[in-house]
Amino acid sequence: MEGGLVLLGGGSGGNGGGGGSSGVSTTESAVLSKVEVVSEACSYPAETELELGLGLSLGSSGGSTGKTKAANSSWGECGRILTAKDFPSVVSQRTNNGGPSSVAVSGTKRAAESVSHDSGSPTGVSQVVGWPPIRAYRMNSLVNQAKAQRGDEGDSGIGEKDKPKDALKKKLNYNGKQTSSATVNEKGYLGFVKVNMDGIPIGRKVDLNAHSSYESLAQALEDMFLRSANSLEKEPLTMASKLLDGSSEFVLTYEDKEGDWMLVGDVPWRMFVRSVRRLRIMRTSEANGLAPRFNESNDRQRSKPI
Amino acid sequence: MQKKRAYSFPDEVLEHVFSFIQSGKDRNAVSMVCKSWYEIERWCRRKVFIGNCYAVSPKMVIKRFPEVRSIELKGKPHFADFNLVPDGWGGYVLPWIVEMAGAYPWLEEIRLKRMVVTDESLELIAKSFKNFKVLVLFSCEGFSTDGLAAIAAGCKNLRELDLRESEVDDLSGHWLTHFPETCTSLVSLNISCLGSDEVSFSALERLVGRCPNLRSLRLNRAVSLDKIANILCLAPQLVDFGTGNYTTELQPDVLSNLTAAFSSCKELKSLSGFWDVVPAYLPALYPVCSRLTSLNLSYATIHSPEIIKLVSHCPSLQRLLVLDYIEDSGLEALASSCKDLQELRVFPSDPFGVEPNVSLTEKGLVSVSLGCPKLQSVLYFCRQMTNAALVTIAQNCPNFTRFRLCIIEPKTADYLTREPLDVGFGAIVEHCKDLRRLSLSGLLTDRVFEYIGTYAKKLEMLSVAFAGDSDLGLHHVLSGCESLRKLEIRDCPFGDKAILANAAKLETMRSLWMSSCTVSFGACKLLGQKMHRLNVEVIDETEPPCSRPESCPVDKLYVYRSISGPRSDMPPFVWTMDEEGTILH
């Protein structure tokens, strides 16, 4: 009994910390205690099944299909008593805004996640994380080569400014269409950039390909850092903080190709994606003097996705 | 105490005999013969391979093998290569270095794969091991050129520094100047992963010039073509060379200088690099082509006609890595020129394009399978496939040891018959009795797993994505594949039943990775509770798994056998299910 409580207690403690969910916590604990009871009930049939095995597997191989089926269907039944539908507030708290409305099944939620954090519907292979299975090292090379071929911003740093035009012409003559190169550059293969947040030792990586606006990027970063910061019990941060409009204790900045640190949100999204090298969530106090429009009310530029 | 033995060899004799046994597997077998052999063997083991750094603790290794000179460690699971393992998951090498610094002062070699290596670790290595010779960082991250400077300066007898495909924070190219003038011992230097920023070229030249035993040199992209001729003239004894950029401003002498430089390299067998190739300079390679056994053109954006021209000069080629620009026509030419070909890897030039940008289909692979009888290892990215082609390939190449096919669009059926590709892959496992590694793709039902479980008895590593219908598929694999060591699965409808029914199997394997499948949190807890020698890690970056009902599927599951229990360096988004049913964090 106690073991089960510890488990769930720990869980809800962590959730309680997650900003803005304080209103939900009473419902949560009521619901979670329901889960606890149910899981206790469920574990017994499974336990008996396990004992029957020869200790070689959790459900012996011989006539096991029947047994394990039985065990699992009772397991499944217990699971059916409480589905995510029973506590939509918990799940929707976690789903990002603009996520799919069907909040119920984790499978869908995960499908949405695997598609992208919040941007709309999947449009083929490019939206699935880690597919096709090409190593980041190789992807980076592809990006740089595509950029070099398009003579984009001359940023390949190899001093081949004259070459790209020829290379590009060759490509055009060869397959008569430019669309593939254009797609490359707009989507930007190099989706993953490093993000560090002041006060948190572990850096993360965020996939820029999965976002089409500053807002969705900021939301993803807030989810990534502000929630995990809470579970580490560091400085209490509120979920209401907005990284983009300067109203929070932190501000989102990026290092561009020239090595300068800029405030995120000043340039059109696509331009940002092409020039960003890495991100840093900086303390507002340190960010003074970063960009002239800091703390200005010129919100139109920043909040409007392009 | 004099033990009574059936033979009367003194320990020294046995030690001497054992010294001829190099392979780890054989050594392990030797150590299990009897207690005295275990003792003798452990004192004379010099080389240790640890396939999962969390399977055992440094202290345990040191306790058993006190005289190790060479260690190899692997950290993150393979799917980390494709960004499926979140940053910060683990794989830190520092604890190992710290322990070894005290216990193995004579350590000579460290080889790491997919581990997080910090500058602190590198500095510690440079300080602690007086006779340090070999550092290989394969696909590692977390360090900068400052750490490399420490290695260069501190390791007086450094023979090998190989940073292949690692992510290095390139702070300055000047780290190369930290190699002292007295360093002449380099045999292998691979800096191809370093960024496009300048590397101190003059330091590089001087280093190359004073190392007469240098056999392998792989430059990074910052080095342009006009500089290569100089380097090659300084090191004509090179066996393996990686160019930087294969491009430069058009100049009259470059081609002739380059050709002369390559001609002077009589031992050159392996070439790589070739970023940004200007085809006009490829003929410079002709003098070495006839001896080439390995050619990596996978970064070269040259097209089929140029590739064909180059490859047809290389009759001894055993290994080719190339982009799909080679096309079916190029592969046909390859099949007729390179009869010794053993390994082929074809990478996509435009993996996210919706329409194919090149004419590379299943036909290319079929031609190679037909023309190259020694073909053993294939990695092939394409956009279409048929069962018939796979059956033909399987029949042509019964010697495959590694077959990895990636049809770019998930769940793509046989484009002629619209059927799943079960029969095709089934033919591969049936005919290729020595198959050790297999990666599946395309539309696949549970049937393909039945074939795999039935035939793939030597299979050690299986990668599955977007395949199967039910737990039965996974059950076939876990119950049938006797040699299975590593299984990685993503986005498949595999859940609790197969895992729980085959829990004991998991202890015979190195690891199991499942992400975006349907394994419930409850099953993970049960597995962790019952199987004490498995670490069952649930990874979820969005929310703790215990905040949802236990029937909910976990996001990512990584199960691996371990004799050192749950690790203590888990980040907030990883939970280990332990024996008491509590979740460790």
Q: CA–CA separation, B424 vs B414, rounded Å?
A: 9
Indicate if the pLDDT at residue B581 is higher than 60.
Answer: yes
Give Cβ neighbours of residue B23 (< 8 Å, ≥ 6 apart): none
pLDDT of residue A290: 62
Are β-strands B240-242 and B188-190 bridged in parallel, bridged antiparallel, or unpaired? unpaired
Give B1: exposed, middle or buried? Use CB within 10 Å, 0-12, 13-18, 19+: exposed
Question: B196–A157: do the CB atoms touch at under 8 Å?
Answer: yes
Mean pLDDT of B235-239: 96
How confident is the model over B184-202, as a mean pLDDT? Answer: 87
CB contact under 8 A, A106 and B301: no
**What's the pLDDT score for residue A244?**
64
What confidence score (pLDDT) does residue B247 get? 78
Cβ separation A15–B193 shorter than 8 A: no
> Which of A184-188, B412-416, B542-546 reaches the highest mean pLDDT?
B412-416
Using 50, 70 and 90 to split pLDDT, how confident is the model at B539? very high
Residue of A nearest to B500 (CA): A58
Size of interface A-B (CB pairs under 8 A): 224
- Could you tell me the pLDDT band of residue A36, with boundaries at 50, 70 and 90? very low
User: Would you call A138 an interface residue with chain B, using a CB distance cutoff of 8 Å?
Assistant: yes
Q: Which of A117, A100, A123, A112 is nearest to A205 (CA)?
A: A117
Q: pLDDT at residue B523 above 60?
A: yes
Beta-carbon-side half-sphere exposure of residue B10 (alpha carbons within 13 Å): 1
> Distance from CA of residue A129 to its chain's centroid?
10
Pick from A230-234, B274-278, B384-388: least confident: A230-234
Q: Is B109 helix (H, G, I), strand (E, B) or coil?
A: strand
CB spacing of B530 vs A7 below 8 angstroms: no
Does the pLDDT at position A4 exceed 70? no
**pLDDT at residue A5 above 60?**
no
From A237-251, B45-59, B459-473, the region with the lowest mean pLDDT: A237-251
Predicted confidence (pLDDT) at residue A106 exceeds the cutoff of 60: no
Give the distance, in angstroms, between the CA of residue B546 and the centroid of all CA atoms in the same chain.
35
From the candidates B552, B554, B577, B585, which should be mutated to test the interface with A, based on the most A CB atoms within 10 A?
A: B552
* pLDDT tens readout for residues A64-95: 333 333 333 333 333 333 333 444 433 333 33
Distance CA A148, CA A154 (A): 7
CA A252, distance to chain mean position in Å, is: 16
Interface contact flag, B543 A94, Cβ < 8 Å: yes
Which of A58, A69, A174, A230 is best to mutate for the B interface (most B CBs within 10 A)? A58
Instruction: In whole angstroms, give the CA distance from residue A255 to residue A268.
Output: 16
Q: How confident is the model at residue B222, as a pLDDT?
A: 83
Among A29, A86, A142, most B C-beta atoms within 10 A, so best to mutate, is A142
Distance, in angstroms, between B385 CA and closest chain A CA? 16
Residues in chain A: 306
ipTM: 0.89
pLDDT given at position B582: 66
Closest approach of A76 to chain B, Cα-based (Å): 7
Q: Tell me the average pLDDT across A134-145.
A: 79
Distance set, CA B76 to CA B79, B136, B138, B466 (Å): 8, 16, 12, 22
Q: Does B281 touch chain A (CB under 8 A)?
A: no
Instruction: Name the residue facing A135 among B81, B406, B572 (closest C-beta).
Output: B81
- pLDDT band at residue A126 using 50, 70 and 90 as cut-offs: low
Q: Residues B121-180: pLDDT tens digits?
A: 999 999 999 999 999 999 999 999 999 999 999 999 999 999 999 999 877 778 999 999
Confidence grade of residue B49 (pLDDT, cut at 50, 70, 90): very high
**Side by side, which strands form the sheet with A250-256?**
A204-207, A192-197, A276-283, A250-256, A261-263
In SS3 terms, chain A reads as CHHHHHHHHHHHHHHHHCCCCHHHHHHHHHHHHHHHHHHHHHHHHHHHHHHHCCCCCCCCCCCHHHHHHHHHHHHHHHHHHCCHHHCHHHHHHHCCCCCCCCCCCHHHHHHHHHHCCCCCCCCCHHHCCCCCCCCHHHHHHHHHHHHHHCCCCCCCCCCCCCHHHHHHHHHHHHHCCCHHHHHHHHHCCCCEEEEEECCCCCCEEEEHHHCCCHHHHHHHHHHHHHHHHHHCCCCCCCCCCCCCCCCCCEEEEEEECCCCEEECCCCCHHHHHHHEEEEEEEEHHHCCCCCCCCCCCCHHHHHCCC
Q: What integer is the mean pLDDT of B27-55?
A: 95
Residues of A in contact with B463 (CB under 8 A): 133
CB B491 within 8 A of CB B464: no
Residues of B in contact with A59 (CB under 8 A): 500-501
Q: How far apart are CA A96 and CA A242, in angstroms?
A: 14
pTM score of the predicted model: 0.75
CA of A176: which chain B residue's CA is closest?
Answer: B357
- In this complex, is the C-beta atom of A67 within 8 Å of any C-beta atom belonging to chain B? no
The pLDDT of residue B248: 74
Residue B251 has pLDDT above 80, yes or no: no
- Closest by CA to B439, choosing from B454, B412, B459, B455, is B459
Element spanning B405, H or E: strand B402-407
Cβ contacts of B88 on chain A, cutoff 8 Å: 202-204
Predicted local distance difference test score (pLDDT) of residue A35: 36
* Highest-confidence segment of A18-22, A159-163, B229-233, B486-490: B486-490
* Mean pLDDT on A29-36: 39
pLDDT at A162 over 70: no
B585 pLDDT higher than 90: no
Residue with tokens 């869980």: A11
pLDDT at position A97: 38
Q: Cβ–Cβ contacts within 10 Å for residue B411, how many?
A: 15
Handedness of CA A24, A26, A30, A35 (dihedral sign): positive
Q: Which stretch of A278-287, B23-32, B223-232, B343-352 has the lowest confidence by average pLDDT?
A: A278-287
Q: Which of A119-128, A179-188, B261-270 has the lowest mean pLDDT?
A: A179-188
Distances (CA, A) of A112 to A122, A226, B513: 8, 21, 21
Res A229 pLDDT > 70: no
Number of residues assigned to chain B: 585
- Asked if B249 and A162 come within 8 Å (Cβ–Cβ), the reply is yes
User: Which residue in chain B is spatially nearest to A145 when comparing CA positions?
Assistant: B276
Token reading at A172: 């055009």
| Residue A123: φ, ψ to 5° | -120, 60
Return the pLDDT at B488: 98
The predicted model gives B538-567 an average pLDDT of: 93
Interface with A, mutate which of B249, B303, B509, B550 (most A CBs under 10 A): B550
Instruction: Find the Cα–Cα–Cα–Cα dihedral B167, B170, B174, B176, rounded to 10°.
Output: 10
Residue B479 clears pLDDT 70, i.e. is over it: yes
Per-residue confidence (pLDDT) for residue A73, from 0 to 100? 38
Instruction: Find the range with the poorest average confidence among A33-42, A251-260, B9-18.
Output: A33-42
More confident residue, A242 or B109: B109
In sequence order, what are the beta bridge partners of A193?
A206
Q: Does A180 touch chain B (CB under 8 A)?
A: yes
- Residue-level pLDDT at A55: 33
Q: Are B222 and A158 within 8 A, CB to CB? A: yes
pLDDT at res. B352: 87
Between these two residues, A286 and A244, which has the higher pLDDT value?
Answer: A286
Amino acid at B213: N
pLDDT above 70 (res B78): yes
CA distance A113 to A210: 10
Nearest residue on chain B to A233, alpha-carbon basis:
B572
Q: Does B381 touch chain A (CB under 8 A)?
A: yes
What mean pLDDT is reported for chain B? 94
Strand pairing class (B167-169; B141-144):
parallel
CA angle, corner A27, sides to A25 and A28, nearest 5?
A: 60
For residue A202, list chain B residues with Cβ-Cβ distance below 8 A: 87-88, 571
The pLDDT of residue A245: 64
Token pair of B486, please?
């590593």
Residues B530, B531, B535, B539, CA torsion sign:
negative
pLDDT for res A282: 84
Interface check for A25 against chain B (CB to CB < 8 A): the answer is no
